[in-house]
Amino acid sequence: MSAPDRPLDLHDAGTPPVEHQSRLREVLGTLVQNRLSVLGLVILAVLIVLALFGEAIAPFELNDIDVVNRLQGPSGDHWFGTDDLGRDVFSRVIIAARVSLQVGFIAVGIALAAGVPIGLVAGFYGRGVDSVLMRLMDILFSFPAVLLAIAILAVLGPGLRNAMIAIGIVYTPIFARITRGSVLSVKQEVYVRAARSLGASDARILRRHILPNVLAPIIVQTSLSLAFAILAEAALSFLGLGVQPPEPAWGRMLADGRRFFQDAPWMAIFPGLGILFTVMAFNFVGDGLRDALDPKQKSVIESRGQTT
Partner 1 sequence: MTGFVVRRLIQVLLALLGVSIIVFALIHLVPGDPVRVALGTRFDQEIYDRLVQRAGLDKPLLEQYFSWLSNALTGDLGVSFRSGRPVTAVVLERLPATITLAFGALFVALVISIPVGIVSAVRSGSKLDYVATAASQVGVSVPDFWAGIMYILLFALTLSWLPPSGYVSFAESPWEWVRHLVLPAVTVGLISGSILTRFVRSAVLEALNQDYVRTARAKGLPESRIIRKHVLPNAWIPIVTVIGLQLGFLLGGVVVVEVIFAWPGLGRLALIAVQDRDFTVLQGAVLYIAFMFLMINLVVDLLYAYLDPRVKYE
Partner 2 sequence: MTGAATSGEAVLSVRDLTVRFGTKRGPARVVNGISYDLAAGETLAIVGESGSGKSVSVLSLMKLIPEPPGKIDGEVIFRGRDLVAASEADLQAVRGNHMAMIFQDPMTSLNPVMTIGHQLTEPMEHHLDLSTTDARTRAVDLLELVGIPSAARRLDDYPHQFSGGMRQRVVIAMGLACDPEVLIADEATTALDVTTQAQIVELVQRLQEQLGMAVIWITHDLGVVAGIADRVLVMYAGRIVEEGLVDDLYADPRHPYTLGLLASLPKPGADRPETLFSIPGLPPDPIVLPPGCAFWDRCTYRLDAACRSDVPELRTVAPGHKVATHYDITAESP
Footprint on this chain of partner 1 (rule: CB under 8 A) = 36, 135, 138-139, 142-144, 146-147, 150-151, 153-155, 227, 231, 234-235, 238-239, 251, 254, 258, 261-262, 265, 268-269, 271-272, 275-276, 279-280, 283-284, 287, 300
Does residue 305 belong to the site contacting partner 2 (CB under 8 A)? yes
Contact of residue 306 among partner 1, partner 2, none (CB under 5-8 Å per partner type):
partner 2
Least separation, in Å, of the C-beta of 308 and partner 2? Answer: 5
Does residue 307 belong to the site contacting partner 2 (CB under 8 A)? yes
The strand pairing partners of 88, in sequence order, are: 82
Q: Pattern of binders to partner 2 over 246-285, x per CB under 8 A?
A: ----------------------------------------
Contact of residue 97 among partner 1, partner 2, none (CB under 5-8 Å per partner type):
none
Least separation, in Å, of the C-beta of 38 and partner 2? Answer: 18
Closest to partner 1 by CB, 90 or 250:
250
Contact of residue 272 among partner 2, partner 1, none (CB under 5-8 Å per partner type):
partner 1
Contact of residue 307 among partner 1, partner 2, none (CB under 5-8 Å per partner type):
partner 2
Least separation, in Å, of the C-beta of 307 and partner 2? Answer: 6
Ramachandran class of 279: left when φ > 0, alpha when ψ lies in -120 to 50, beta otherwise: alpha
User: How far apart (Å, rounded) are the C-alpha atoms in residues 91 and 87?
Assistant: 8
Does residue 11 belong to the site contacting partner 2 (CB under 8 A)? no
Q: CA angle 121-124-127, nearest 5°? A: 90
Does residue 306 belong to the site contacting partner 2 (CB under 8 A)? yes
Contact of residue 287 among partner 2, partner 1, none (CB under 5-8 Å per partner type):
partner 1
Query: Is residue 164 within 8 Å of residue 250, measured between CB atoms?
Result: no
Closest to partner 2 by CB, 68 or 301:
301
Closest to partner 2 by CB, 22 or 306:
306
Contact of residue 305 among partner 1, partner 2, none (CB under 5-8 Å per partner type):
partner 2
Cα separations in angstroms, 31 against 38, 216, 226, 249, 286: 7, 14, 18, 31, 10
Say how many residues touch partner 2, by CB under 8 A: 6
List residues near partner 2 by CB under 8 A.
302, 304-308
